Amino acid sequence: MSAHSVTSSSGSPLHAIMAEFPNPAVVSHAAEKIRDLGYSKWDVYSPFPIHGIDEAMGLKPSRVSFFAGAGAITGITIALLMQWWMSAVDYPMVIGGKPYFAWEQYLPVTFELAVLMTSISAIVGMLALNGLPRLYHPMAKKDRFLRVGDDRFIIAIEAADPKFNADDIRKLLADLGGEHIDEVEE
């Protein structure tokens, strides 16, 4: 991470440079500029998902769908195999004159397990892709960052970014309308 080993003004390793923006319009506009300048390790923090911020930041389509799809297939497979093995192989018993593997009657359980596995894997996948749960993050040290869940919009460009240059970034964030530009120590 600290290939450049960037340090803050006090000499400790630097995580990022952050700036506060007054509203979603300004922060989206700033995000578009930062995207166009080719930065890769940076983030926009906002109290709610800003409409169109994915475009403004140049985010790729979310991969949560793959987790959900894998969950659905797993659920269907487990359900059908389980019912087939339990009702037709391990404990075959004629009930209501139906075949041992009466697949029509196995559909409700198959559907329910597919929904269950899809939901669990979508949420687990979402958390995994986001690197959560996480006990600590350098941004959490900043008092101003505690207001991001309320009404603040913050952009932080990380020191790990290959194009990182503290002076350029300070100037860039100020030009884009950023206020309270500050260093975030690791």
Partner 1 sequence: MSSIHPDQAEALGLVGKRGPGAERDPETIDGTITDDPTRRVPLVLGNRDFHSVTETICGWVENKTPNWWFPAFAVSNVLAIVGTVMILFLIVTGVGVWGLNNPVSWGWAIVNFVWWVGIGHAGTLISAILCLLKQNWRTSINRFAEAMTIFAVICAGTFPGIHVGRVWFAWFLFPIPNYNWIWPNFRSPLLWDVFAVGTYFTVSLLFWYMGMIPDLATLRDRAIARFNQKVTFGPMWAPHPLPAFVKKLTTVSIPANKIASYFYGVLALGWRFSSRHWWNYEKAYILLAGVATPLVLSVHSVVSFDFAVSIIPGWHTTIFPPYFVAGAIFSGFAMVLTLLIPARALYPGMKDFVTARTIENMCKIITLTGSMVGFAYIMEFFIAWYGANPYEAEAFMIRAFGPYWWAYWIMMFCNVLSPQVFWFKWCRTNIVFIFIISIVVNIGMWFERFVIVTTLSADFVTSSWGYYAPTWVDILTFVGSLGIFMTLFLLFCRFLPMLAISEVKNVMPQADPHHPMYHKDGHHNGDHHHASDRSEGGH
Tokens (6 digits) for 173: 């964030």
Long-range CB contacts (within 8 A, 24+) of 71-74: 71/117, 71/118, 71/119, 71/120, 71/121, 71/122, 71/125, 72/114, 72/117, 72/118, 74/117, 74/121
Tokens (6 digits) for 11: 């000499």
Among 126, 160, 166, 181, binds partner 1 (CB under 8 A): 126
Q: How many helices (H) and strands (E) does the chain have?
A: 5, 4
Nearer to partner 1, 37 or 162 (CB): 37
Nearer to partner 1, 72 or 173 (CB): 72
The yes or no reply on residue 65 touching partner 1 (CB under 8 A) is yes
Residues 86-125 binding partner 1 (CB under 8 A) are 86-87, 90-91, 93, 95-96, 98, 102, 105-106, 108-109, 111-113, 115-116, 118-120, 122-123, 125
CB of 177 to partner 1, least distance (A): 9
CB of 176 to partner 1, least distance (A): 10
Alpha-carbon span 35 to 126, nearest angstrom? 23
Q: Which amino acid is at 155?
A: I
Q: Please choose, out of 6-14, 62-70, 162-170, 178-186, the segment that lies near partner 1 by the rule CB under 8 A.
A: 62-70
Nearer to partner 1, 87 or 182 (CB): 87
